[in-house]
Amino acid sequence: MGAMEPLLRAVMAEEDPARLEGAIAAARGSLDEADARTLRALQQRLAQGARREELLRTVSSIAVDVTTRRDVVGVLHEIVRRTRLLTGADMAYIALNTADTTFIRESDGVRTEEYRTLRMPIGYGVLGRAATGRAIVTTADYLEDAALSHIEEIDDIVRGEGVRSILAVPMTLREQVHGALLIADRTSREYPPETVDIVDTLSRHASVALDNARRFEEVTGALASLSAQQDEDEERMVELHEILDLDAGLLEALLDGGDLEVLARRVHELLGADLALLDAGGVPMVETDPGARLAVGLDGEALRAARGTGKPAVSGGTTLACASSGREHLGTLVVGRALAPRLLPRVQRVAVFFGILLLLGRAQQDDRRRRDRAVIDALVRGGREVDTVRGDARVRAVRPGTGVRMVAIDVFDADVGPLADRLRAGTAHDGAVVALHGDHLCVLVPDAAADALSALLDVAGSGVNAGWSSPVEDLARIPAAHRSAELALRSLAVLGVRGRSADGERIGMVGLMAEAIHRDPTLPSPLLVLRPLEDYDREHGTELTRSAWAFAESGRHVPRAAQMLHVHPNTVRQRLERIAGLLGEDWRAPARFLDLHFALRMWSLGREEAGG
């Protein structure tokens, strides 16, 4: 027992394994191998117990934090921070689910902003697969793991962060999956069962703790409201009910997807006054009574005061309140009467919700842009890329009987963003997809909504060219449809026209020639053969070029060409003689006429005859 006694004391003191091995080696002469193994096993079990005790302390600490701290963000950060410390991982993060995606809500140890704000479709990658709640997901080398569904854009973000190993555990609340708790490392690592158990335990306890925190906040808020109602007189009771009605209206607008008209209508009902919601530039977004013209002649000094102090300002017969995010001015709320001081906090409350709705709309718009670009890029590339966006409802809508068109749009040197937003808003209910692709704007639009898109492009003015494909009913044909629309657009560019549209299926070989010229501007233009006719028309105010086009398109049939031109056949014959005098008597010879007809078809693309 003499040799065992100091060793037992070392084990009970939880000395590190290296020191214990040294003590065993020093006492080797006094211990047999069985005693040494017994001591090692005892020391390992004590160490495991210590780690389990540390885990329980962490879980208890998280529960205490949740029940004592009111800010959910702080609680989430504390959970990921302690998870990272307890597992020794390079980073830890919590992801929360939306309807079809999961996104990182809070993280610790992440270096890049792209990874910190990562958003992943449900079912893809480690994060997306864990978000389904089916099982714990782990990988020792994410980028090389063929068992996972990869998305190229996400892989680039993971590569930029340097992540290799990931462990993800689903978080469930009342049998519903709300997200996942994850750890990750920048080296290849096989996570042992002990680490998996730690993250699993923290995930389950954190889920329960968060649920309890939300319940605690609800109960505390209800008790506070009840206490206030009991302490206030009848006038205060009426005021509280009005505030609750206001909050209900504001929440209705928020839950209605950020509908500013719902917000304006409810505030108008509760305040009994007309109002206008203006964007940051002072342009009305919603007005309960456009005839009131509340946005005209705003008091600049009052507006600066409202922006500078963050509080409503009363000027003459109006009340102003600003919606802000940090130092950014998002918009202005204008109420059509001077409100009493006791009502100003309500107006500011409305302005806060107005700002939230503007930020929500901005986030939704940004998300729509990203989704649209991913859809367009995947469909144009075709093949297996389509699988990455197949879950999008607009992609699922492409099936036999519901054709779609691909439209390629060139806005030249104009800002493509505003036009894309207008087209996206104008075709949103039709399920169109609008995104910048290469050097042009692409729109995937249902054939039934093609006229609506044409009308929007007409409103855009003469600075927009559009190339259209024919309707397709199969995802596999969309790359070819895009190619057709692109050829039409290139043809218009080579002709140097603006404000025109062309059908890729109808331009035929003209499109191929136009694309060749677009790629190599040094190639001679087929239009050169028409220069004598165009020069003559310009100098004499005649229509010889158009008459040659009608003659060619009618199959060299004079009466039919006359109908197309709305003139007498003799007039056509006289013009043909004039054309022969300019081009030569052999202009109708088959080989030369073929070149001439090709040039006339290209010429017609840039004019009203393009649709003829």
Predicted confidence (pLDDT) per residue in 445-491, tens digit: 888 888 888 888 776 666 788 888 888 888 888 888 888 888 878 77
pLDDT at 300: 74
Give the domain CATH number at 409: 3.30.70.2730
Per-residue pLDDT at 10 exceeds 60? no
Confidence class for position 154, pLDDT limits 50, 70, 90: very high
Predicted confidence (pLDDT) per residue in 319-330, tens digit: 888 888 777 888
Least confident of 107-111, 297-301, 315-319: 297-301
Confidence class for position 92, pLDDT limits 50, 70, 90: very high
- Percent of the chain at pLDDT > 90 equals 10
pLDDT at 238: 42
578 and 514 in a single domain? The answer is no
Token pair for 517: 């010229």
Give the domain CATH number at 339: 3.30.450.40
266 and 286 in a single domain? The answer is yes
Report which listed range, 216-220, 401-405, 413-417, is most confident: 401-405
Contacts for 172 with CB less than 8 Å, ≥ 6 apart: 133, 178, 204, 207
Confidence class for position 234, pLDDT limits 50, 70, 90: very low
Number of domains in the chain: 5
* pTM to 2 decimal places: 0.45
372 falls within a domain: no
134 and 17 in a single domain? The answer is no
556 falls within a domain: yes
204 and 297 in a single domain? The answer is no
Confidence class for position 158, pLDDT limits 50, 70, 90: very high
60 falls within a domain: yes
Contacts for 141 with CB less than 8 Å, ≥ 6 apart: 164, 165, 188
Please state the rounded mean pLDDT for residues 282-293.
Answer: 75
Q: Domain end: 359, 376, 403, which one?
A: 359
Q: pLDDT higher for 196 or 393?
A: 196
Per-residue pLDDT at 108 exceeds 90? yes
222 falls within a domain: no
91 and 35 in a single domain? The answer is no
Rounded CA-CA distance 372/365 in Å is: 10
Please state the rounded mean pLDDT for residues 125-143.
Answer: 87
Backbone phi and psi for residue 410, each to the nearest 5 degrees, phi listed first: -110, 120
Q: Domain end: 493, 519, 545, which one?
A: 519
16 falls within a domain: yes
515 and 535 in a single domain? The answer is no
88 and 156 in a single domain? The answer is yes
Contacts for 10 with CB less than 8 Å, ≥ 6 apart: 19, 20, 23, 43
400 and 510 in a single domain? The answer is yes
pLDDT at 235: 43
Q: pLDDT higher for 247 or 276?
A: 276
pLDDT at 474: 84
Full residue range of the structural domain in which residue 13 is found: 4-64
Q: Among residues 444, 448, 506, which one has the least CA distance to residue 479?
A: 444
Per-residue pLDDT at 247 exceeds 70? no
55 and 80 in a single domain? The answer is no
Rounded CA-CA distance 183/89 in Å is: 6
Predicted confidence (pLDDT) per residue in 500-521, tens digit: 777 777 766 666 666 666 666 6
Confidence class for position 526, pLDDT limits 50, 70, 90: confident
381 falls within a domain: no
Rounded CA-CA distance 590/379 in Å is: 43
380 falls within a domain: no
Rounded CA-CA distance 42/139 in Å is: 32
Q: Domain end: 456, 486, 519, which one?
A: 519
pLDDT at 152: 92
530 and 514 in a single domain? The answer is no
Q: Among residues 580, 531, 573, which one has the least CA distance to residue 550?
A: 573
Alpha helix (H) residue ranges in 93-185? 113-116, 125-130, 152-161
228 falls within a domain: no
Confidence class for position 610, pLDDT limits 50, 70, 90: very low
Per-residue pLDDT at 312 exceeds 60? yes
Rounded CA-CA distance 390/400 in Å is: 16
Report which listed range, 77-86, 208-217, 228-237, is most confident: 77-86
pLDDT at 233: 42
161 and 118 in a single domain? The answer is yes
116 and 201 in a single domain? The answer is yes
pLDDT at 301: 76
Q: pLDDT higher for 81 or 272?
A: 81
pLDDT at 141: 94
